[in-house]
């Protein structure tokens, strides 16, 4: 009997599917990998990488682990058929918590369901090679952490899912295990609703600086350097170092002029649920 873990990736020709299959394919001694894809573009992409495509109807029933690498907005539709084909005792890994938190992921009592998501390489980590330093997304050369949650199921299956997830996002330094809502508060709340929106505003402000005649390269250098040092201070990485009194005053002004006074409401459960529902179904916003 083979000791290989049989893994099928649904959406193997998409953006995330390509990333995870490229990494899983590096482990032929431990992973029996099947590429499942429905779109013509995705199929062509898989073949261009030198792999063959297997129908989900053939691959899923014999898989130990099924990775659902499809967009969040179609998980509700796609997961129903895929979960029905899974063998009893199999495991499904999804790559984002939103559909599970919104109860749009199909489930079965006799299967294990897991969320795994990359943290992406931190600018606090000194990557060792030029290739790693250029790997902003991770999964190629730069080391990164991942977060994981068990939605339901068997602990031994979760352990196997953790091994496979560390392969998918390799090289991985830490795999942080937490609750599924904890991951949802990390994304979208922490890194998208707050982080992405404020960073987007910073990029827009660079454009405004350039419009006013400030050299763009200087504005980017000034912003990036200050993000580095301010993040190090605020996250406690420089010990007891504090920002200046003038900066503290400016932060107070920013809280009034840039952020809403009640912006910390994004950490409330009802706001999270409404935000996820709106992100999955923007045609029917809840917030």
pLDDT at residue number 37: 97
Please indicate, yes or no, whether residues 71 and 157 belong to a single structural domain of this protein.
yes
Do residues 71 and 49 lie in contact, with contact meaning Cβ atoms separated by under 8 Å? no
Q: Do 174 and 218 sit in the same domain of this protein?
A: no
- Residue 105 sits in the same domain as residue 43: yes
Q: What is the pLDDT of residues 98-116, one digit of tens each?
A: 999 999 999 999 999 999 9
Q: Answer whether residue 285 is part of any domain.
A: no
Same domain, 92 and 141: yes
Give yes or no: residues 237 and 144 share one domain.
no
Residues 190 and 170 placed together within one structural domain of the fold = no
Token duo for residue 2 = 């083979």
Give the helix ranges, DSSP H, for 185-215.
197-211
Q: Are residues 163 and 62 in the same domain?
A: yes
In a domain, 136, yes or no: yes
CATH number, position 166: 3.40.50.720
Exposed / middle / buried, residue 111 (Cβ in 10 Å: 0-12, 13-18, 19+):
buried
Give the span between the Cα atoms of 220 and 199, in whole angstroms.
Answer: 12
Which of 132, 151, 178 is the endpoint of a domain? Answer: 178
- 151 in a domain, yes or no? yes
Stretches in the chain below the pLDDT threshold 50:
1
pLDDT in tens, 138-196: 999 999 999 999 999 999 999 999 999 999 999 999 999 999 999 999 999 999 999 99
Q: Which of 144, 178, 212 is the last residue of a domain?
A: 178
Q: Is residue 247 part of a domain?
A: yes
201 part of a folded domain: yes
Same domain, yes or no, for 223 and 118? Answer: no
In this prediction, residue 1 carries a pLDDT of 45
> Is residue 191 located within the same domain as residue 263?
yes
Asked whether residue 287 is domain-assigned, the answer is no
Assess whether 167 and 214 both reside in one domain.
no
Question: Token digits for 213?
Answer: 């005649």
Last residue of a domain, one of 178, 193, 220: 178
Number of domains present in the structure of the chain: 2
> What is the spatial distance between Cα 146 and Cα 100, in angstroms, rounded to a whole number?
18
Residue 126 shares a structural domain with residue 165: yes
- Full residue range of the structural domain in which residue 50 is found: 5-178
286 within a domain of the structure (yes/no): no
CA 228/CA 123 separation, integer angstroms: 8
Residue 262 lies inside a defined structural domain of this protein: yes
CB neighbourhood size of 184 (10 A): 25
For residue 2, the model assigns a pLDDT of: 64
Do 153 and 45 have their domain in common? yes
């Amino acid at each position: 009997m083979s000791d290989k873990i049989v893994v099928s990736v649904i959406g193997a020709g998409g953006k995330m599917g390509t990333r995870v299959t490229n990494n899983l394919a590096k482990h032929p001694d431990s992973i029996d990998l099947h590429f499942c894809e429905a779109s013509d573009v995705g199929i062509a992409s898989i073949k261009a990488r030198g792999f063959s495509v297997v129908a989900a109807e053939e691959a899923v029933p014999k898989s130990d682990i099924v990775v659902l690498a499809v967009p969040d907005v179609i998980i509700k539709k796609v997961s129903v058929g895929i979960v029905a084909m899974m063998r009893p005792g199999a495991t499904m890994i999804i790559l984002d918590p939103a559909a599970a938190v919104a109860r749009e992921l199909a489930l079965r009592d006799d299967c294990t369901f897991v969320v795994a998501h990359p943290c992406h390489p931190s600018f606090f980590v000194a990557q060792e090679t030029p290739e790693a330093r250029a790997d902003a997304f991770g999964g190629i050369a730069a080391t990164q952490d991942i977060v994981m949650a068990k939605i339901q199921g068997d602990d031994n299956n979760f352990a196997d899912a953790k091994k496979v997830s560390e392969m998918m996002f390799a090289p991985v330094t830490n795999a942080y295990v937490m609750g599924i809502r904890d991951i949802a508060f990390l994304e979208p709340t922490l890194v998208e609703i707050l982080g992405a929106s404020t960073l987007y505003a910073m990029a827009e402000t660079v454009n405004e600086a350039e419009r006013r005649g400030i050299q763009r390269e200087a504005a980017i250098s000034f912003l990036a350097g200050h993000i580095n040092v301010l993040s190090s201070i605020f996250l406690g990485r420089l010990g007891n170092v504090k920002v200046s009194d003038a900066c503290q005053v400016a932060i107070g002004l920013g809280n009034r002029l840039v952020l809403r006074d009640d912006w910390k409401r994004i950490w409330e459960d009802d706001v999270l649920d409404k935000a996820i529902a709106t992100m999955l179904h923007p045609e029917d916003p809840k917030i």
